Amino acid sequence: MNQEEILYCQNCKNNETNLRCQKCNQLICYNCMKETPVGYRCSNCVEFIKPPMYKISVITLITSSLIAIVFGFIMGVISIFLIPIQSYYSFITIIGSGFFGLLISQILFIIINWSSNGKRGKKIQIIAVCSIILSSLIRLYISGNIEMGINDLNGFVYLLTGVIVLWDKFK
Ligand SMILES: [Zn+2]
Ligand SMILES: [Zn+2]
């Protein structure tokens, strides 16, 4: 009777396994392996098949951030006319604010999508969300009525709609 050799995962070095990464052939356990559309991979090999849209260069990050700041500022100036700061709100103003949130986040999406060359992922999501937050802050700042911002439900609906739309679109 021949004795079987006990093999261990080369990644965590803890678990017994006889599975191998289908690319580099390294021993890999159930905990450490990643399932991909092209088979089981170790974490090193998964990095290589990350789609290019999720790889963002530093230059793209910087230019996208700058463009997001500039347009966040512009959208803030525009939104003060679309949604004036007031403590008054009704069904109509809330629906309107949600609509402008959709509209402005769509414009920001087109601009940031263009400036980042169609990138997706956490970094670009954060840039886009910061841009719409900046527009809300600019809107509050220009109005000169920061205290009223606390009761500004219209502005909150605008911001929330924008954040949700942009976060989802750059996923
Ligand atoms: Zn392992
Ligand atoms: Zn591998």
| Among the bound ligands, the one closest to the CA of 14 | 1
Residue 3: its pLDDT value, please? Answer: 60
> Which tens digit of pLDDT belongs to each residue from 82-132?
888 777 889 999 999 999 999 999 999 999 999 999 999 999 999 999 999
Q: What percent of the chain clears pLDDT 70, i.e. is strictly above it?
A: 96
Q: How far apart are CA 6 and CA 94, in angstroms?
A: 65
The lowest-confidence range among 12-16, 78-82, 102-106, 150-154 is: 150-154
Whether pLDDT at 2 is above 60: no
Signed CA dihedral, 65, 146, 157, 94: sign only: negative
Give the confidence band of 68 by pLDDT, cuts at 50, 70, 90. Answer: very high
Structure tokens at 136: 């809300």
Domain ranges within the chain, ordered by starting residue: 1-49, 52-169
Structure tokens at 124: 């670009």
| Among the bound ligands, the one closest to the CA of 33 | 1
Residue 4: its pLDDT value, please? Answer: 67
CA of 25 to the centre of ligand 2 (A): 6
Q: What percent of the chain clears pLDDT 90, i.e. is strictly above it?
A: 65
State which residues have CB under 5 angstroms from ligand 2, the bound ion: 21, 23-24, 42, 45
Q: How far apart are CA 104 and CA 157, in angstroms?
A: 13
CA of 26 to the centre of ligand 1 (A): 11
Residues 6+ apart with CB under 8 A from 162: 101, 102, 104, 105, 108, 132, 135, 136
Instruction: Calculate ∠ Cα 170-64-100, nearest 5°.
Output: 55
> Which tens digit of pLDDT belongs to each residue from 122-134?
999 999 999 999 9
Q: Which residues pair with 59 in a beta bridge?
A: none
Residue 108: its pLDDT value, please? Answer: 97
